[in-house]
Structure 1
Amino acid sequence: MRHNMVAYLYCLVRDLYAEHGDPRVAHLPLLGNLWIVLAIVALYVAFVLHYGPRWMEHRAPFELKRVMQVYNVVQVLANATIFVIGLTNTYLQPGYSWTCQPVDHTDRSPAMMKTLYASYAYYMLKYLDLLDTVFIVLRKKNSQVSFLHVYHHGGMVFGVSIFMTFLGGSHCTMLGVINLLVHTVMYAYYYAASLGAVKNLLWWKQRITQLQLMQFGYLTFHFLLVIVRNPCQFPVFIAFIGFIQNIFMFSMFFDFYYKTYIRKQRKSAETKLNAS
């Protein structure tokens, strides 16, 4: 019975990818095979939550300052470059809609093909982002490996793989454009902090979390647009998932923001008041 169910799911996913996958990008690596993507995400989760900490248990933390500096510079340059290419070939194009961009696998215009390849580069960055957690584990900073952190990184790999396979160049593109901008700022902060500028940049760290909250807030509205009014016939089920997912991410990031900044600032203010 179990074997039959697994075989049925396998065939269902295979047929779904074959019938509805985007032929413009089907030839690109790590597209068109959900199982490889899921295997990579599973290996990532297993390493950062179990095998990595267990392997590091009796080892000294790795000194990765230089490696992480190079990594942060690469991330800033890559995210900024893809952001510019993606924005100029989508939302700055006269025929591209901010409110309802359809899924159109037949569009092979130069701007759209540039968008698709920029989107694929963004997809590859989601795998590179997994190194964030690997570095944390190798440096034995395991308290930083929160549910939010692992869920976000693993979920982005899975989510962007679905986007690239079925929805490239569509309404979902806004997610990647905004996320590229946020990551450019975020990794620039990480690099500056690694140079010893932490004290002067503490305000920036709070602003980055605010920027992330704005990201999820706007994306919630962006997906709500095609749920309420859908002239481009964008898949409502996908829009609903995007809507719910961004509400969920906003709530999780807001919980982190409240505990890290608002509650601490209130406690600090109360302590100063009591001391005076």
Structure 2
Amino acid sequence: MRQNIIVHLYGLIRDMYAEHGDPRVAHLPLLGNLWIVLALVGVYLAFVLHYGPKWMEHRKPYELKTVMQVYNAVQVVANTIVFLYGLTNTYLQPGFSWTCQPFDKTDTSPRMMHVLCATYVYYMLKYLDLLDTVFIVLRKKNSQVSFLHVYHHAGMVFGVSIYMTFLGGSHATMLGIINLLVHSVMYAYYYASSLGALRHILWWKQRITQLQLAQFGYLTLHFLLVIVRNPCRFPPFIAFIGFIQNIFMFFMFFDFYYKTYIRKQRQQQQPPVKRESPAEAGLKLS
């Protein structure tokens, strides 16, 4: 019975990819086959949540300062270039809509192919992002491997693969454009802090979280636009998922922001409680 369900599910997904997949990108590696994507995400989750920490349990943390500096520098350069390239070919073009961009898999114009090229590089960067957690595990900073961190990285790989396979160049393009900008700033902070400039740029950390909150807030409204009014016929189900997902991420990040900054600042501003000496307590009782 279970085997029949798996076979049936496999057939449904195969047919969906064959019938509705974008032929403009179907030939690209890590597209057109959901099982490979799920397998890679599964390997990532297994390593960062179980096998990695277990393997490092009796080992000393790896010193990865130079490796991480190179990694962060590459991330800054790559995210910035793709952001500028993608923005130039999308929302800075007169024919690309901010409010409801349609999906047309027959559009093979040079501009749209540039958009798909930028989107594919962005998709590859989501796999590169996974190394961030791997470095955390190898450095035995396991407290940083939070649910929010792992969910965000794994979910982005899966989500962008679906978008690239079925909706490249559509209304959801805004998510990638904003995310590239946020990651450019975030990895610049990581790179600067690794050089010993943490004291001078510590204020960035709170601003980056605020930028992430603004990102999810805007994307919530962006997907709400095509739920309320949908002249470009963007798939309502996908728009609803995007809407709910960004609300969820907003509250997850807000919870982190509140606990890390607002509550901590309030606690620091509270005057210390004055403790009475035994003599003072005795005077009050007498």
Structure 2 CA distance for aligned equivalents of residues 85 and 107 of structure 1 = 19
**2:97 counterpart letter in structure 1:** S
Once the two structures are superposed, the pairs formed by residues 79-94 of structure 1 within 5 Å of their partners are 79-94=79-94
TM-score for both structures, normalised by structure 1: 0.98
Listed one character per residue, the Cα deviations across residues 189-226 of structure 1 (whole Å, up to 9, x for unaligned) are 00000011111111110000000000000000000000
Once the two structures are superposed, the pairs formed by residues 239-254 of structure 1 within 5 Å of their partners are 239-254=239-254
SS of the residue corresponding to residue 204 of structure 1 reads helix
Once the two structures are superposed, the pairs formed by residues 125-204 of structure 1 within 5 Å of their partners are 125-204=125-204
Question: Corresponding residue for 2:46?
Answer: 46
Listed one character per residue, the Cα deviations across residues 30-74 of structure 1 (whole Å, up to 9, x for unaligned) are 000000000000110000000000000000000000000000000
Structure 1 CA distance for aligned equivalents of residues 231 and 22 of structure 2 = 21
Query: Against the structure 1 CA distance between its residues 254 and 111, is the aligned structure 2 distance closer, same or farther, given a 3 Å change threshold?
Result: same
Structure 2: 5+ residue stretches without partners: 276-286
Once the two structures are superposed, the pairs formed by residues 192-231 of structure 1 within 5 Å of their partners are 192-231=192-231
Listed one character per residue, the Cα deviations across residues 138-190 of structure 1 (whole Å, up to 9, x for unaligned) are 00000000000000000000000000000000000000000000000000000
Structure 2 CA distance for aligned equivalents of residues 109 and 88 of structure 1 = 15
Listed one character per residue, the Cα deviations across residues 234-273 of structure 1 (whole Å, up to 9, x for unaligned) are 0000000000000000000000000000000000000469
**Residue 274 (structure 1) shift:** 6.8
Structure 2 CA distance for aligned equivalents of residues 274 and 84 of structure 1 = 56
Question: Corresponding residue for 1:108?
Answer: 108
Listed one character per residue, the Cα deviations across residues 87-125 of structure 1 (whole Å, up to 9, x for unaligned) are 000000000000000111011111110000100000000
SS of the residue corresponding to residue 101 of structure 2 reads coil
Question: Corresponding residue for 2:19?
Answer: 19
TM-score for both structures, normalised by structure 2: 0.95
The root-mean-square deviation of aligned C-alpha atoms, in Å, is: 1.1
Structure 2 CA distance for aligned equivalents of residues 196 and 167 of structure 1 = 42
**2:159 counterpart letter in structure 1:** G
Report percent identity of matched pairs: 79
Structure 1 CA distance for aligned equivalents of residues 190 and 272 of structure 2 = 31
SS of the residue corresponding to residue 130 of structure 1 reads helix
Structure 1 CA distance for aligned equivalents of residues 35 and 108 of structure 2 = 28
**Residue 22 (structure 1) shift:** 0.3
Structure 2 CA distance for aligned equivalents of residues 232 and 56 of structure 1 = 51
**1:202 counterpart letter in structure 2:** L
Equivalenced residue count is 275
Query: Against the structure 1 CA distance between its residues 190 and 9, is the aligned structure 2 distance closer, same or farther, given a 3 Å change threshold?
Result: same
Structure 1 CA distance for aligned equivalents of residues 14 and 39 of structure 2 = 16
SS of the residue corresponding to residue 23 of structure 1 reads coil
SS of the residue corresponding to residue 270 of structure 2 reads helix
Query: Against the structure 1 CA distance between its residues 8 and 199, is the aligned structure 2 distance closer, same or farther, given a 3 Å change threshold?
Result: same
Query: Against the structure 1 CA distance between its residues 274 and 151, is the aligned structure 2 distance closer, same or farther, given a 3 Å change threshold?
Result: farther
Runs of 4+ deviating beyond 2 Å: 271-275
- Larger of the two Rg values belongs to structure: 2
Query: Against the structure 1 CA distance between its residues 272 and 190, is the aligned structure 2 distance closer, same or farther, given a 3 Å change threshold?
Result: farther
